[in-house]
């Protein structure tokens, strides 16, 4: 069977990485046959690719003339839904870089187009390939933790310098990127937060600081408090201005606590349900017996390559898709709710008002005064 013909649109930092993996034959069953990007990006492709690759600067020509069967979209955030919809209309399978988009209104349209097309739609949620989070999800779904009471994720190891933000004109602007740490760095954690626990919030109250640590107009520091349908609560903290940063994910249930930190999964397992202990214990001071268990985690964290391979295998072999594209809206809806809550200083309930969010985002864009004299448009 001949390899599936894949194209990449957007040959910035991540686009180059994905293109190279395909060009070097690291993805079984797929080969790179076309790219689309700016003139300088095309020059890089010509100087670095070993295979025969068609090069396009015009996206319409890319979609109409490349004869690819599938496309990886690695362009600035706002364009993700629009380009995915075009690809589905051309009968192409799609793998989309995170985030799914900037606002949920057009992401819903993208999901509808994907469903109508019948093509395989994947999201580049490469952290889902991490055995740590896969094992955490498995344990929670099996009932080992019991009913979840609280989630807490501190993810501040996304440190970025001012020169990082200055490197590209689109970065850290409402018009170019649509947000800051929530849309650029933390989409993986927002996805894993709900994917591992199986819980989506029903309300959120959030506090964001814009340009707290950098000369930017979007948020670089966020604290969000959420409530779930079952009464559990959660806190999500993210920043690009702390060094050294922390990455600690903690989930508490009535059968104990699970913690991921420093690439280790620890289960503080109660020998008896806390709720049962609370109802039956008569000794005053006391608490359930707890065992500290270092959970063995096996397997490769295959990252971006793993997601591309899984997407290819789904198309070619019918393998279950690890990160369905339609699920991209979940993390984005959480991000939109956090933004809206911080803008309005109100508690936001699900489902969020997508029209109101879009309106407020346009206000942010129209009020923007930032001008970047240096930097490129590279992703």
Peptide bond between residue 99 and the one before it cis (omega within 30 degrees of 0): yes
* Residue ranges of domains in the chain: 4-127+303-325, 131-300+331-367
86 and 339 in contact (C-beta within 8 Å)? no
Average pLDDT in the 52-61 region?
A: 97
Q: Tell me the per-residue pLDDT of 138-195, one tens digit each, with 9 for 90 and over.
A: 999 999 999 999 999 999 999 999 999 998 888 899 999 999 999 999 999 999 999 9
Give the CATH fold of the 131-300+331-367 domain.
Dihydrodipicolinate Reductase; domain 2 (3.30.360)
Asked whether the predicted pLDDT for residue 27 surpasses 70, the reply is yes
Looking at per-residue pLDDT, the higher value among 371 and 305 belongs to: 305
Tokens of 151: 């989630």
**Residue 26: pLDDT over 70:** yes
Confidence of residue 233 (pLDDT cuts 50, 70, 90): very high
| % the chain with pLDDT above 90 | 94
Kindly compute the dihedral angle of the four CA atoms of residues 299, 316, 93, 328, in this order, to the nearest 10 degrees. Answer: -30
CB atoms within 10 A of CB 242: 17
Dig out the tokens for 338 from the structure. 């956090």
CA dihedral 113, 334, 123, 181 (to 10 degrees): 130
Q: Is the pLDDT of residue 301 over 50?
A: yes
Interstrand relation of 290-294 and 30-36 (parallel, antiparallel or unpaired): unpaired
Mean pLDDT of 363-376: 77
The predicted pLDDT at position 379 comes to 45
End-to-end CA distance of the chain: 34
Give the pLDDT band of residue 376 (cuts 50, 70, 90): low
Domain 4-127+303-325 = CATH 3.40.50.720: yes
Average pLDDT, the chain: 96
- What is the structure's pLDDT at 168? 83
Which of 8-22, 64-78, 162-176 shows the lowest mean pLDDT across its residues?
A: 162-176
What does the pLDDT average to over 213-227?
97
**CB atoms closer than 10 angstroms to residue 359:** 10
Is the confidence at residue 88, as pLDDT, over 50? yes
CA distance 249 to 259: 6
Angle at 248 between CA 143 and CA 264, to 5 degrees: 70
Q: pLDDT-derived band of residue 378, with 50, 70 and 90 as boundaries?
A: very low
For tokens 């947000």, the residue is 179
pLDDT at 2: 86
What is the pLDDT, as a whole number, of residue 209? 98
Judge if 4-127+303-325 and 131-300+331-367 fold alike in CATH terms. Answer: no
Q: How far apart are CA 226 and CA 204, in angstroms?
A: 4
Contacts of 378 (CB under 8 A, 6+ apart): 12, 13, 41, 167, 168
The pLDDT value given to residue 336: 98
Question: β-strand 201-210 against 219-228: which pairing, if any?
Answer: antiparallel
Phi and psi dihedrals of 341, rounded to 5?
A: -65, -45
Q: Which residues on neighbouring strands pair with residue 253, listed in sequence order?
A: 148, 256
For residues 372 and 263, the model is more confident at 263
Give the mean model confidence (pLDDT) for residues 256-282: 97
pLDDT for residue 373: 62
8 A C-beta contact, residue 258 and residue 145: yes
């Amino acid at each position: 069977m001949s390899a599936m013909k894949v194209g990449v649109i957007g040959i910035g930092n991540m686009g180059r990485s994905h293109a190279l993996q395909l060009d070097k034959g690291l993805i079984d069953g797929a080969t790179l046959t076309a790219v689309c990007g700016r003139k300088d990006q095309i020059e890089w492709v010509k100087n670095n690719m070993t295979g025969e690759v068609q090069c396009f600067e015009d996206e319409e020509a890319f979609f109409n003339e490349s004869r690819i069967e599938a496309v990886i979209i690695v362009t600035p955030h706002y364009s993700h839904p629009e380009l995915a919809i075009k690809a589905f209309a051309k009968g192409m399978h799609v793998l989309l870089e995170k985030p799914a988009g900037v606002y949920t209104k057009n992401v819903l349209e993208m999901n509808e187009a994907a469903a109508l097309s019948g093509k395989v739609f994947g999201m580049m949620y490469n952290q889902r390939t991490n055995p740590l989070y896969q094992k955490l999800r498995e344990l929670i779904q099996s009932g080992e933790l019991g009913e979840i009471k609280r989630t807490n994720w501190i993810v501040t190891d996304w440190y970025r310098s001012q020169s990082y933000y200055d490197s590209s004109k689109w970065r850290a602007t409402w018009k170019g990127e649509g947000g800051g740490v929530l849309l650029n760095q933390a989409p993986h954690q927002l996805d894993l937060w709900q994917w591992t626990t199986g819980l989506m919030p029903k309300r959120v109250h959030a506090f964001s600081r814009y340009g707290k640590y950098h000369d930017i107009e979007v948020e670089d520091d966020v604290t969000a408090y959420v409530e779930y349908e079952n009464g559990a609560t959660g806190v999500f903290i993210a920043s690009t201005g702390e060094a050294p940063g922390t990455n600690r994910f903690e989930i508490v249930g009535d059968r104990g606590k699970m913690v991921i930190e420093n690439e280790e999964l620890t289960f503080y397992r109660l020998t008896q349900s806390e709720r049962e202990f609370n109802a039956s214990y008569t000794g005053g001071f006391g608490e359930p017996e707890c065992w500290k268990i270092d959970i063995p985690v096996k397997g490769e964290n295959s990252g971006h390559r793993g997601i591309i391979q899984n997407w290819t295998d789904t198309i070619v072999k019918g393998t279950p898709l690890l990160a369905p594209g339609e699920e991209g809206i979940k993390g984005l809806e959480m991000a939109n709710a956090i933004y809206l809550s911080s803008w309005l200083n109100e508690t936001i309930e699900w489902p969020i008002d997508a029209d109101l969010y879009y309106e407020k985002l346009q206000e942010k864009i129209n009020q923007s005064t930032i001008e970047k004299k240096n930097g490129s448009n590279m992703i």
